[in-house]
Amino acid sequence: MTIRVPVKVRYAETDAMGVVHHSRYIPWLELARVEWLERLGLPYTEIEAQGLAFAVVEVNLKYRVPARFGDTVEVEARLSELSSRALRYDYRVWRGETLLAEGYSRHLCQSREGRATRIPPEILGRLEGHLP
């Protein structure tokens, strides 16, 4: 399942050159990832209620074309890898038909105490059906 989430670029997200600062893309990826889970019927609050979190352990982004104040971009997200303890999402950021950035994030399932743990079977089963 691939989703797209629209984001209107705010002035506060840009630098002195009027270009979206590279750090602002990370919250956009999170927005798309959380929305992906929501559309799957697995709100992140449900994961947290089980005492779990999908902690970010790696983020990689390749910037191709700058986004600017006033643009509406779309952040595309899809689950691309899954194991008993970890997952990876792939992303693309678009302005119309123009690819602005692409990358991925890796996540480790952790307990409230911050220890790596297995993804519960009921969650794992729901995720498995959405791999490419």
CA-to-CA distance for 53 and 67, rounded, in angstroms?
30
Q: What is the pLDDT of residue 60?
A: 98
The SS3 of residue 121 is helix
Q: What is the pLDDT of residue 54?
A: 97
Give the domain 2-128 fold: Thiol Ester Dehydrase; Chain A (3.10.129)
- Measuring CA to CA, how many Å separate 29 from each of 8, 99, 114, 122? 14, 15, 22, 25
Q: Which of 56, 50, 53, 41 is nearest to 125 (CA)?
A: 41
Q: What strands lie across the sheet with 52-63, from one edge to the other?
A: 2-8, 72-82, 86-95, 98-111, 52-63
> Does an H or E element contain 99, and which?
strand 98-111
Per-residue pLDDT of the chain (132 residues; tens, 9 = 90+): 999 999 999 999 999 888 999 999 999 999 999 999 999 999 999 999 999 999 999 999 999 999 999 999 999 999 999 999 999 999 999 999 999 999 999 999 999 999 999 999 999 999 999 988
CA-to-CA distance for 2 and 59, rounded, in angstroms?
19
Q: What is the pLDDT of residue 132?
A: 84
